[in-house]
Amino acid sequence: IKDKVGTDRTPTMQDKCQLTYLNAVIHETQRMASIVPLSVTHMCSEEVALKGYTLPKGTFLLPNLDSVLHDKSTWGDDAMSFRPERFIDDNGKLVIPEQFIPFSIGRRVCLGEALAKMELFLFLSSMFQRFQF
């Protein structure tokens, strides 16, 4: 942060694209410590066949986001380890897999997602800029 932003000003959203590792840390934190492990309840509007199971019309579904965010087939055998590098490709660019869904997906995605992401970035970039942990 000090290399990219310096210490004479507070980080802004315009700095976000330059702070790849911080963005990876934020994503890994959201993946590991989801504050909402279950998504909003959904209901089948028609009968659905899924992997050998039949879900009748009217069935309520409660998606488990934690199971997706900790799935070893997506995140690797170290899925329960904090490793921000999993969000950075070989070229040093931020990569966000489609399985990264801490705010849920679709029409029922968290309305505060954009605000939460902005606040997390601004708060953490300022904290890491000014303090040593």
pLDDT at site 37: 77
Nearest 10 degrees: Cα torsion 33, 72, 87, 96: -90
**Does residue 133 have a pLDDT over 90?**
no
Asked whether the beta carbons of 24 and 87 are under 8 A apart, the reply is yes
pLDDT at site 39: 84
**Residue 110 labeled ligand binder:** yes
Q: What is the pLDDT of residues 59-76, one digit of tens each?
A: 999 889 999 999 999 999
pLDDT at site 15: 97
Q: What is the pLDDT of residues 94-114, one digit of tens each?
A: 999 999 999 988 887 889 999
Q: How many CA atoms lie within 13 A of 55 on its CB side?
A: 14
pTM (two decimals): 0.86
Apex 16 CA angle, 15 and 17, nearest 5: 95
Mean pLDDT, residues 71-88 taken together: 97
pLDDT at site 38: 82
pLDDT at site 42: 87
Distance between CA atoms of 25 and 30, rounded to whole angstroms?
9
Distance between CA atoms of 90 and 92, rounded to whole angstroms?
6
Asked whether the beta carbons of 4 and 16 are under 8 A apart, the reply is no
